[in-house]
Chains A and B, each alone.
Chain A
Amino acid sequence: MTSLRWRLVITLWAALAVIGSGSAAYSYVYTRQSTNALLDYQLAQIAGFLGAQDFTGITSAAMNPPPPHHEHEDDVIVTVRGRGGKLLYASGNPGPIPPLSTLGYQDMTLQGASYRVFSAQAGTRRIAVAQQLETREEIAADAALSALLPIAILLPLLGLIIIFVIRHQLRPLRQAAAEVAARKPMALQALPITGLPDEIRPLIDAINHLLARLHDALEIEQRFIADAAHALRTPLTALQLQADVLDGSVDSSERAARLDELRAGIRRTTHLADQLLTLHQHPHDAAAVTAHTSLSRAITEIVSNYHAAANKKNLHFHLALTDANDVEVPGDTRQLALIFGNLLDNALRYSAAGGTITITCRRQRSTVNIEISDEGPGLPDTELSTVFARFYRIAGDRTMGNGLGLATVHSLVQLLGGAVSLSNRTDRSGLLACVTLPLITQMQSA
């Protein structure tokens, strides 16, 4: 049973049934006992009253039986005996009570029926007052049952009230649920919170918070798809044209050159698709990162991949990685290769021939800084942070970037719990990219 309403109803009903039947049982037993006590007391009273009477002139009803219609089964019967057990008076049926040896209350059988008897000594007279047990039971039961009546009426009434009240109180919840159910999939505006009970408010607040985040995420997603579609147009146009011009050439060396150009175009498009995928896959919580990698090994490996490109432009690498020894950073080799590869790509692209690209690691207390500096023209100060935006390209930039490299770096570094910043070198012209990554301590890596 998952309905809150029916759970409340059933629970309260069960509690009501237990408490109700308990109190009913108690009042039944109690009322019966008090009625019995009262009847006992009544017998004693009658006996006391009769003890003070003079029976000399009274003819025994037993000797002079009353007409049958006077006969009353529930009547109290009385027997008065004088000295030596001489019958002085006996009332009605079923005849006189036989002489009793003990005084006080006792139960006895008289002509097949059980009786409650009270016997008292008043001077020479012994008075016995008796009442049929069955009658007493009837009276007691009647009294007890009438005591149950309010409970019997109250219980079902309370049951109905419970249903009604719960139903009424849960209405805002039902309305909220109906509101959500009636929504279109992309309708992510907040749920109304007016009139909601305090207990449900946190839930609706949490849902609204989630809806707001979903809305943001969806917007980012849609913008990303639009941007990606736009970004793909240029390389696809190039591919189309590169394929189209293959037909035009009869000269075999020209044909080979055009084919190379087409292959380069395919590489560029593939690279763009990879970057788009990386940017898109990146999950928003850092909990997804479980791998960690040796920093010095990762950087040496990545740099070695760029040696050929550097040689082409007569560029040199200067590595200062002593601080990176025995340092583990979060992320797998692919992620680190994307981060530092993109930064090295930029450094190579904007460096003039013959320059040096310096990579320095600086270990801090709980983080490590990796700095990549080139001897290129640097960036205008206003562009230092905007270049991280997706699809951002610097005005007048004639290099073949697609505007996704730094965005990829940025989102990956964030995913790994680090930070990345760009600054212009102060010692000379050139750009300095600084990646800060958290250190994996021995304990974490164990």
Chain B
Amino acid sequence: MRVLLAEDDRMIGTSLVRGLGDDGYAVDWVRDGTSAITALADRQTKYALLLLDWGLPEQDGLAVLTALRHSGQNTPVLMITARDSIDDRVTGLDGGADDYLVKPFQMAELKARMRSLLRRRLGQTGPVIIQGGLSLDPVTRCARLRDIEITLSNREFSLLHALLERPGAVLSRGQLEERIYAWNEAVDSNAVEFLIHGVRKKLGAAIIENVRGSGWRIAAAP
């Protein structure tokens, strides 16, 4: 899952990239408001979530948020800030933020809030994504196919998650790469096929359908 992190503090940013990477997120990290706006304006990369620090240099988080919403993107935004007055929270939420986290916070809470935002984006109420006999639990990052629990690697989970975002939709190799890998990660040309191979081995070949010339989609009734 591709997320954009806008945070100016090197140590916080480094730890967030590491911690989120552990959970299979592909994190693009920018350290000022202008870079954040540029990254968001790039329609090639569609971010599942924006983690936005309020106190960014050059253009602050609120300016980034305003620019994002003006451009008509409904990417979920989780604001991170050291300010904790009610007024600030109201300003942030009214400015288009979906949730709000006050520094200092714990990684576990951040991840839970991110999952909740992603769930809402997919229109789900429960934590587990269900499609036919296949269910995907973002907390344990396990897949379950007809009562058989299967452990997935981070990347395999991201791949399934991407395919399950809109069941039936066909995703190209580029679209899948863009959802699974961050900027700084070197992607082999057959990396996506390799991941699909892995998932098919664990869940059965029929789970992912190959649409010749376009890409892949999740099976209608896995």
Contact = CB atoms under 8 A, between A and B. Distances in A.
Interface string A284-307: 000000000000000000000000
Contacts of A233: 82, 103-104
Contacts of A230: 82
Given A233-B103, A395-B58, A398-B31, A244 B19 contact: yes
Q: How big is chain A's contact interface, by range?
A: 20 to 34
Nearest to B22: A248
Majority secondary structure, A binding face: helix
B214 interface: no
Contacts of B8: 398
A92 interface: no
A396 interface: yes
Interface residues of B, number: 23
B205 to A, nearest CB: 30
A261 interface: yes
A240 B106 contact: yes
Contacts of A235: 11
Nearest to B58: A396
Contacts of B106: 240-241, 244
Nearest to B18: A245
Given A236-B104, A396-B58, A397-B57, A245 B11 contact: no
Contacts of A264: 11
A322 interface: no
A242 B11 contact: yes
A441 B57 CA distance: 47
Contact of A395 (B14, B23, B57, B104): B57
B9 interface: yes
A238 B22 contact: no
Contacts of B19: 241, 244-245, 248
A146 to B, nearest CB: 87
Contacts of A249: 18, 22
Interface in B45-60: 57-58
A237 B104 CA distance: 4
Contacts of A400: 10-11
Interface string A257-270: 01001001100100
Contacts of B15: 238, 241-242, 244-245, 261
In order of increasing CB-CB distance, the 10 nearest A-B pairs are: A244-B107, A248-B22, A241-B15, A238-B11, A237-B104, A233-B82, A245-B19, A237-B103, A236-B104, A233-B103
Interface of A: 230, 233-242, 244-245, 248-249, 258, 261, 264-265, 268, 393, 395-398, 400
